[in-house]
Amino acid sequence: MSKNYLLAIATLMGAIIGVGLFAIPYVTVKSGVLPLIFYMVVLAILQYYLHLLYAEIILSTRGSHRLPGYFEKYNGRAGKLITLIITVLSDYGAMLAYIIVGGLFLEQLLAPILGGGLIIYASVLFFLEAFIVLFGIRLIAGTEFIMTALLVLIIGLIGWRGLAVIQLDNYTLINWQNIFLPYGPIFFAVSGLAAIPEVCKLLEREKEKIKSAIAWATHLAAFLMLIFVLVIVGLTGANTTPDTLVGLSLVFGDGVIKIALVFGLLAIITSMICVAQASREVFWWDFKLNKNLAWALACFVPFIIYLAGLRDITKVVSLTGALAGGILGVALIYLVFKVKKKGQLKPVVKNKINKIIGLGLSLLFVLGLIYEMWSVFK
Protein backbone atom coordinates (compact mmCIF):
# COMPACT_ATOMS: atom_id res chain seq x y z
CA MET A 1 0.00 0.00 0.00
CA SER A 2 1.77 3.13 -1.24
CA LYS A 3 1.93 6.54 0.40
CA ASN A 4 0.08 8.16 -2.51
CA TYR A 5 -2.71 5.58 -2.25
CA LEU A 6 -3.31 6.57 1.37
CA LEU A 7 -3.04 10.26 0.48
CA ALA A 8 -5.63 9.81 -2.27
CA ILE A 9 -8.08 8.13 0.12
CA ALA A 10 -7.49 10.83 2.75
CA THR A 11 -7.94 13.63 0.21
CA LEU A 12 -11.31 12.31 -0.98
CA MET A 13 -12.52 11.53 2.55
CA GLY A 14 -11.52 15.01 3.68
CA ALA A 15 -13.48 16.52 0.81
CA ILE A 16 -16.58 14.46 1.60
CA ILE A 17 -16.73 14.93 5.39
CA GLY A 18 -17.52 18.62 5.62
CA VAL A 19 -20.15 21.16 6.55
CA GLY A 20 -22.97 19.05 5.13
CA LEU A 21 -22.45 16.56 7.95
CA PHE A 22 -23.69 19.03 10.55
CA ALA A 23 -27.07 19.48 8.85
CA ILE A 24 -27.90 15.77 8.86
CA PRO A 25 -28.68 15.16 12.58
CA TYR A 26 -31.31 17.92 12.59
CA VAL A 27 -33.14 16.57 9.52
CA THR A 28 -32.86 13.03 10.91
CA VAL A 29 -34.77 14.10 14.02
CA LYS A 30 -37.47 15.51 11.73
CA SER A 31 -37.65 12.54 9.34
CA GLY A 32 -36.55 9.47 11.33
CA VAL A 33 -33.71 6.97 11.44
CA LEU A 34 -34.93 4.71 8.63
CA PRO A 35 -34.86 7.51 6.02
CA LEU A 36 -31.37 8.45 7.28
CA ILE A 37 -30.06 4.92 6.70
CA PHE A 38 -31.85 4.56 3.35
CA TYR A 39 -30.63 7.88 1.93
CA MET A 40 -27.11 7.47 3.29
CA VAL A 41 -26.68 4.04 1.71
CA VAL A 42 -28.38 4.82 -1.63
CA LEU A 43 -26.86 8.28 -2.11
CA ALA A 44 -23.38 7.11 -1.10
CA ILE A 45 -23.58 4.39 -3.78
CA LEU A 46 -24.90 6.95 -6.27
CA GLN A 47 -22.13 9.43 -5.48
CA TYR A 48 -19.58 6.63 -5.77
CA TYR A 49 -20.90 6.02 -9.29
CA LEU A 50 -20.66 9.75 -10.12
CA HIS A 51 -17.11 9.82 -8.75
CA LEU A 52 -16.22 6.93 -11.07
CA LEU A 53 -17.86 8.66 -14.05
CA TYR A 54 -15.75 11.75 -13.41
CA ALA A 55 -12.62 9.60 -13.06
CA GLU A 56 -13.37 7.94 -16.41
CA ILE A 57 -13.72 11.36 -18.06
CA ILE A 58 -10.40 12.50 -16.57
CA LEU A 59 -8.53 9.35 -17.54
CA SER A 60 -9.95 9.40 -21.10
CA THR A 61 -8.64 12.89 -21.86
CA ARG A 62 -5.15 14.28 -22.37
CA GLY A 63 -4.04 17.23 -20.26
CA SER A 64 -5.21 18.67 -16.94
CA HIS A 65 -8.72 20.11 -16.85
CA ARG A 66 -11.75 20.63 -14.66
CA LEU A 67 -15.35 20.08 -15.75
CA PRO A 68 -15.59 23.22 -17.97
CA GLY A 69 -12.41 22.18 -19.82
CA TYR A 70 -13.76 18.71 -20.49
CA PHE A 71 -17.02 20.19 -21.81
CA GLU A 72 -15.09 22.40 -24.22
CA LYS A 73 -13.19 19.40 -25.57
CA TYR A 74 -16.26 17.27 -26.13
CA ASN A 75 -19.10 19.78 -26.54
CA GLY A 76 -17.68 23.13 -27.67
CA ARG A 77 -17.22 26.54 -26.08
CA ALA A 78 -20.90 27.08 -25.25
CA GLY A 79 -20.86 24.00 -23.05
CA LYS A 80 -17.69 25.25 -21.40
CA LEU A 81 -19.21 28.60 -20.43
CA ILE A 82 -22.44 27.09 -19.12
CA THR A 83 -20.51 24.54 -17.06
CA LEU A 84 -18.22 27.29 -15.76
CA ILE A 85 -21.19 29.19 -14.35
CA ILE A 86 -22.66 26.09 -12.70
CA THR A 87 -19.32 24.86 -11.33
CA VAL A 88 -18.19 28.21 -9.96
CA LEU A 89 -21.56 28.96 -8.35
CA SER A 90 -21.49 25.52 -6.73
CA ASP A 91 -17.91 25.97 -5.48
CA TYR A 92 -18.56 29.49 -4.22
CA GLY A 93 -21.68 28.33 -2.40
CA ALA A 94 -19.79 25.50 -0.72
CA MET A 95 -16.90 27.75 0.29
CA LEU A 96 -19.30 30.37 1.62
CA ALA A 97 -20.93 27.68 3.78
CA TYR A 98 -17.51 26.64 5.10
CA ILE A 99 -16.61 30.23 5.98
CA ILE A 100 -19.94 30.77 7.78
CA VAL A 101 -19.86 27.61 9.89
CA GLY A 102 -16.08 27.49 10.33
CA GLY A 103 -16.03 31.06 11.64
CA LEU A 104 -18.82 30.20 14.07
CA PHE A 105 -17.00 27.11 15.37
CA LEU A 106 -13.68 28.94 15.72
CA GLU A 107 -15.37 31.79 17.59
CA GLN A 108 -17.04 29.37 20.01
CA LEU A 109 -13.70 27.65 20.59
CA LEU A 110 -11.41 30.67 21.05
CA ALA A 111 -13.55 33.72 21.88
CA PRO A 112 -13.98 32.72 25.56
CA ILE A 113 -10.17 32.79 25.86
CA LEU A 114 -9.05 35.48 23.42
CA GLY A 115 -12.17 37.58 22.92
CA GLY A 116 -13.00 39.04 19.52
CA GLY A 117 -15.97 38.83 17.19
CA LEU A 118 -17.25 36.41 14.58
CA ILE A 119 -15.87 38.34 11.59
CA ILE A 120 -12.34 38.15 13.00
CA TYR A 121 -12.44 34.38 13.45
CA ALA A 122 -14.04 33.77 10.07
CA SER A 123 -11.27 35.89 8.51
CA VAL A 124 -8.53 34.00 10.34
CA LEU A 125 -9.94 30.67 9.15
CA PHE A 126 -10.28 31.95 5.58
CA PHE A 127 -6.69 33.23 5.34
CA LEU A 128 -5.36 29.94 6.76
CA GLU A 129 -7.26 28.04 4.07
CA ALA A 130 -6.16 30.41 1.32
CA PHE A 131 -2.49 30.06 2.38
CA ILE A 132 -2.67 26.25 2.17
CA VAL A 133 -4.34 26.35 -1.27
CA LEU A 134 -1.71 28.79 -2.58
CA PHE A 135 1.04 26.20 -2.10
CA GLY A 136 -0.59 23.44 -4.09
CA ILE A 137 -1.55 19.80 -4.05
CA ARG A 138 1.35 18.27 -2.09
CA LEU A 139 0.68 20.47 0.93
CA ILE A 140 -3.05 19.90 0.44
CA ALA A 141 -2.66 16.11 0.32
CA GLY A 142 -0.43 16.04 3.39
CA THR A 143 -2.79 18.32 5.31
CA GLU A 144 -5.79 16.20 4.30
CA PHE A 145 -4.08 13.01 5.49
CA ILE A 146 -3.31 14.42 8.96
CA MET A 147 -6.71 16.05 9.39
CA THR A 148 -8.66 13.04 8.12
CA ALA A 149 -6.84 10.81 10.62
CA LEU A 150 -7.80 13.24 13.39
CA LEU A 151 -11.41 13.26 12.15
CA VAL A 152 -11.65 9.48 12.47
CA LEU A 153 -10.14 9.65 15.97
CA ILE A 154 -12.55 12.35 17.16
CA ILE A 155 -15.63 10.59 15.72
CA GLY A 156 -14.53 7.50 17.65
CA LEU A 157 -14.07 9.55 20.84
CA ILE A 158 -17.51 11.18 20.60
CA GLY A 159 -19.08 7.79 19.93
CA TRP A 160 -17.28 6.16 22.85
CA ARG A 161 -18.18 8.95 25.28
CA GLY A 162 -21.74 9.04 24.02
CA LEU A 163 -22.60 5.33 24.26
CA ALA A 164 -23.23 5.56 28.01
CA VAL A 165 -25.78 8.36 27.71
CA ILE A 166 -27.57 7.55 24.45
CA GLN A 167 -31.33 7.29 24.98
CA LEU A 168 -33.30 5.01 22.68
CA ASP A 169 -36.37 7.23 23.15
CA ASN A 170 -34.56 9.89 21.15
CA TYR A 171 -34.85 7.78 18.00
CA THR A 172 -37.91 7.98 15.74
CA LEU A 173 -38.11 5.29 13.09
CA ILE A 174 -39.91 7.31 10.42
CA ASN A 175 -41.96 10.47 10.00
CA TRP A 176 -43.77 10.19 6.67
CA GLN A 177 -44.51 13.91 6.57
CA ASN A 178 -40.78 14.70 6.22
CA ILE A 179 -39.74 11.61 4.27
CA PHE A 180 -37.89 13.61 1.58
CA LEU A 181 -36.24 16.09 3.94
CA PRO A 182 -32.85 14.29 4.25
CA TYR A 183 -32.32 13.99 0.47
CA GLY A 184 -30.64 17.34 -0.15
CA PRO A 185 -28.41 17.53 2.93
CA ILE A 186 -27.20 13.93 2.59
CA PHE A 187 -26.62 14.22 -1.18
CA PHE A 188 -24.56 17.34 -0.48
CA ALA A 189 -22.73 15.68 2.41
CA VAL A 190 -21.57 12.54 0.55
CA SER A 191 -20.31 14.35 -2.56
CA GLY A 192 -16.57 14.52 -3.18
CA LEU A 193 -16.49 15.37 -6.90
CA ALA A 194 -14.15 18.29 -6.35
CA ALA A 195 -11.43 15.90 -5.14
CA ILE A 196 -11.54 13.36 -7.99
CA PRO A 197 -8.94 15.15 -10.18
CA GLU A 198 -6.59 15.25 -7.16
CA VAL A 199 -7.13 11.52 -6.60
CA CYS A 200 -6.30 10.81 -10.26
CA LYS A 201 -3.23 13.04 -10.10
CA LEU A 202 -1.90 11.45 -6.91
CA LEU A 203 -2.29 7.99 -8.46
CA GLU A 204 -1.15 8.86 -11.99
CA ARG A 205 1.59 6.20 -11.70
CA GLU A 206 -0.79 3.68 -10.09
CA LYS A 207 -3.92 4.19 -12.16
CA GLU A 208 -5.15 0.67 -11.45
CA LYS A 209 -5.68 1.72 -7.81
CA ILE A 210 -7.91 4.74 -8.55
CA LYS A 211 -11.21 2.83 -8.46
CA SER A 212 -10.24 1.13 -5.19
CA ALA A 213 -9.22 4.43 -3.57
CA ILE A 214 -12.50 6.07 -4.60
CA ALA A 215 -14.48 3.13 -3.25
CA TRP A 216 -12.73 3.09 0.12
CA ALA A 217 -12.92 6.86 0.58
CA THR A 218 -16.56 7.27 -0.46
CA HIS A 219 -18.00 4.38 1.53
CA LEU A 220 -15.81 4.82 4.61
CA ALA A 221 -16.70 8.53 4.79
CA ALA A 222 -20.42 7.69 4.49
CA PHE A 223 -20.12 5.02 7.20
CA LEU A 224 -18.35 7.41 9.60
CA MET A 225 -20.96 10.09 8.99
CA LEU A 226 -23.77 7.60 9.59
CA ILE A 227 -22.25 6.56 12.94
CA PHE A 228 -21.72 10.19 13.93
CA VAL A 229 -25.32 11.14 13.11
CA LEU A 230 -26.79 8.14 14.95
CA VAL A 231 -24.76 9.00 18.05
CA ILE A 232 -25.71 12.70 17.95
CA VAL A 233 -29.42 11.97 17.51
CA GLY A 234 -29.30 9.40 20.30
CA LEU A 235 -27.69 11.97 22.60
CA THR A 236 -29.64 15.13 21.83
CA GLY A 237 -32.97 13.94 20.41
CA ALA A 238 -35.48 16.79 20.17
CA ASN A 239 -32.77 19.21 21.35
CA THR A 240 -30.74 18.64 18.18
CA THR A 241 -29.94 22.01 16.61
CA PRO A 242 -29.37 22.90 12.93
CA ASP A 243 -25.61 23.22 13.54
CA THR A 244 -25.53 20.06 15.75
CA LEU A 245 -22.91 21.25 18.25
CA VAL A 246 -25.09 23.68 20.24
CA GLY A 247 -27.48 20.86 21.06
CA LEU A 248 -24.56 18.63 21.98
CA SER A 249 -23.45 21.15 24.59
CA LEU A 250 -26.61 20.36 26.58
CA VAL A 251 -25.40 16.77 27.04
CA PHE A 252 -21.62 16.98 27.36
CA GLY A 253 -19.35 19.15 29.44
CA ASP A 254 -17.11 21.91 28.16
CA GLY A 255 -14.17 19.57 27.44
CA VAL A 256 -16.07 17.31 25.06
CA ILE A 257 -17.68 20.29 23.34
CA LYS A 258 -14.23 21.71 22.65
CA ILE A 259 -13.25 18.40 21.09
CA ALA A 260 -16.44 18.47 19.02
CA LEU A 261 -15.66 22.01 17.87
CA VAL A 262 -12.18 20.90 16.84
CA PHE A 263 -13.80 18.04 14.93
CA GLY A 264 -16.12 20.50 13.20
CA LEU A 265 -13.23 22.74 12.23
CA LEU A 266 -11.20 19.82 10.88
CA ALA A 267 -14.13 18.64 8.77
CA ILE A 268 -14.68 22.12 7.38
CA ILE A 269 -10.99 22.86 6.75
CA THR A 270 -10.35 19.64 4.82
CA SER A 271 -13.39 20.14 2.60
CA MET A 272 -12.80 23.84 1.99
CA ILE A 273 -9.19 23.22 0.95
CA CYS A 274 -10.33 20.75 -1.68
CA VAL A 275 -13.15 22.92 -3.06
CA ALA A 276 -10.95 26.03 -3.18
CA GLN A 277 -8.25 24.12 -5.08
CA ALA A 278 -10.86 22.77 -7.50
CA SER A 279 -12.21 26.25 -8.16
CA ARG A 280 -8.68 27.58 -8.65
CA GLU A 281 -7.94 24.90 -11.23
CA VAL A 282 -11.06 25.81 -13.23
CA PHE A 283 -9.63 29.30 -13.80
CA TRP A 284 -6.04 28.09 -14.09
CA TRP A 285 -6.32 24.95 -16.22
CA ASP A 286 -9.48 25.59 -18.25
CA PHE A 287 -9.30 29.35 -18.77
CA LYS A 288 -5.50 29.68 -18.78
CA LEU A 289 -5.39 32.46 -16.19
CA ASN A 290 -2.26 33.16 -14.19
CA LYS A 291 -2.22 30.69 -11.28
CA ASN A 292 -2.07 33.45 -8.67
CA LEU A 293 -4.99 35.33 -10.25
CA ALA A 294 -6.86 32.02 -10.42
CA TRP A 295 -6.14 31.53 -6.70
CA ALA A 296 -7.46 35.01 -5.88
CA LEU A 297 -10.67 34.50 -7.90
CA ALA A 298 -11.27 31.09 -6.35
CA CYS A 299 -10.70 32.13 -2.75
CA PHE A 300 -11.59 35.78 -2.30
CA VAL A 301 -14.94 36.04 -4.09
CA PRO A 302 -16.86 33.90 -1.54
CA PHE A 303 -15.04 35.71 1.27
CA ILE A 304 -16.19 39.06 -0.11
CA ILE A 305 -19.75 37.71 -0.37
CA TYR A 306 -19.49 36.68 3.28
CA LEU A 307 -18.28 40.14 4.31
CA ALA A 308 -21.20 41.62 2.34
CA GLY A 309 -23.59 39.90 4.74
CA LEU A 310 -24.83 36.66 3.11
CA ARG A 311 -24.62 34.33 6.14
CA ASP A 312 -27.81 32.23 6.20
CA ILE A 313 -26.26 28.76 6.37
CA THR A 314 -29.50 26.86 5.75
CA LYS A 315 -30.25 28.65 2.48
CA VAL A 316 -26.63 28.53 1.32
CA VAL A 317 -26.27 24.77 1.90
CA SER A 318 -29.69 23.93 0.44
CA LEU A 319 -29.20 25.95 -2.74
CA THR A 320 -25.63 24.72 -3.20
CA GLY A 321 -26.69 21.13 -2.69
CA ALA A 322 -29.49 21.51 -5.21
CA LEU A 323 -27.14 23.04 -7.76
CA ALA A 324 -24.24 20.62 -7.28
CA GLY A 325 -26.31 17.47 -6.83
CA GLY A 326 -28.82 18.27 -9.53
CA ILE A 327 -27.31 20.11 -12.47
CA LEU A 328 -23.74 18.82 -12.17
CA GLY A 329 -24.99 15.24 -11.90
CA VAL A 330 -26.89 15.59 -15.17
CA ALA A 331 -23.87 17.30 -16.77
CA LEU A 332 -21.55 14.44 -15.81
CA ILE A 333 -23.90 11.83 -17.26
CA TYR A 334 -24.25 13.78 -20.51
CA LEU A 335 -20.49 14.25 -20.77
CA VAL A 336 -19.56 10.61 -20.14
CA PHE A 337 -21.62 9.53 -23.19
CA LYS A 338 -19.59 11.96 -25.31
CA VAL A 339 -16.32 10.71 -23.81
CA LYS A 340 -17.12 7.07 -24.53
CA LYS A 341 -17.48 7.98 -28.23
CA LYS A 342 -14.66 10.53 -28.59
CA GLY A 343 -12.26 9.79 -25.72
CA GLN A 344 -8.59 10.45 -26.47
CA LEU A 345 -7.16 7.72 -24.22
CA LYS A 346 -8.12 4.25 -23.11
CA PRO A 347 -9.12 4.72 -19.43
CA VAL A 348 -8.33 2.32 -16.60
CA VAL A 349 -11.69 3.12 -15.00
CA LYS A 350 -14.63 2.10 -17.21
CA ASN A 351 -18.27 2.35 -16.18
CA LYS A 352 -21.36 0.66 -17.51
CA ILE A 353 -24.00 3.15 -18.56
CA ASN A 354 -26.77 3.19 -21.16
CA LYS A 355 -29.57 5.57 -22.10
CA ILE A 356 -32.02 4.04 -19.64
CA ILE A 357 -29.60 4.42 -16.71
CA GLY A 358 -28.62 7.91 -17.86
CA LEU A 359 -32.20 9.13 -18.24
CA GLY A 360 -33.27 7.52 -14.97
CA LEU A 361 -30.48 9.13 -12.97
CA SER A 362 -30.98 12.49 -14.71
CA LEU A 363 -34.68 12.41 -13.86
CA LEU A 364 -33.83 11.65 -10.23
CA PHE A 365 -31.39 14.57 -10.10
CA VAL A 366 -33.87 16.97 -11.71
CA LEU A 367 -36.68 15.96 -9.34
CA GLY A 368 -34.31 16.37 -6.40
CA LEU A 369 -33.31 19.80 -7.67
CA ILE A 370 -36.95 20.87 -8.05
CA TYR A 371 -37.78 19.64 -4.54
CA GLU A 372 -34.81 21.42 -2.95
CA MET A 373 -35.56 24.68 -4.75
CA TRP A 374 -39.21 24.47 -3.77
CA SER A 375 -38.28 23.77 -0.14
CA VAL A 376 -35.89 26.72 0.06
CA PHE A 377 -38.21 29.28 -1.51
CA LYS A 378 -41.18 27.92 0.42
How high is the pLDDT of residue 50?
Answer: 94
SS (H, E, C) the chain: CCHHHHHHHHHHHHHHCCHHHHHHHHHHHHHCHHHHHHHHHHHHHHHHHHHHHHHHHHHCCCCCCCHHHHHHHHHHHHHHHHHHHHHHHHHHHHHHHHHHHHHHHHHHHHHHHHCCCHHHHHHHHHHHHHHHHHCCHHHHHHHHHHHHHHHHHHHHHHHHHHCCCCCHHHCCCCCHHHCCCCHHHHHHHCCCHHHHHHHHHHCCCCHHHHHHHHHHHHHHHHHHHHHHHHHHHHHHHHHCCCCCHHHHCCCCCHHHHHHHHHHHHHHHHHHHHHHHHHHHHHHHHHCCCCHHHHHHHHHHHHHHHHHHCCCCHHHHHHHHHHHHHHHHHHHHHHHHHHHHHHCCCCCCCCCCCCHHHHHHHHHHHHHHHHHHHHHHHC
Tens-place pLDDT, residues 156-205: 777 777 777 788 888 999 999 989 888 888 888 898 988 899 899 999 99
> Higher model confidence: residue 276 or residue 219?
219
Residue 341 has pLDDT above 70, yes or no: yes
How high is the pLDDT of residue 212?
Answer: 96
Residue 49 has pLDDT above 60, yes or no: yes
Average pLDDT of the segment spanning 278-304: 91
Average pLDDT, the chain: 86
Average pLDDT of the segment spanning 206-226: 95
With a pLDDT cut of 90, the percent of the chain lying above it is 35
Residue 141 confidence class, pLDDT cut points 50, 70, 90: low
Residue 138 has pLDDT above 60, yes or no: no
Is the CATH number of domain 3-377 1.20.1740.10? yes
Domain boundaries, the chain: 3-377
Average pLDDT of the segment spanning 9-34: 88
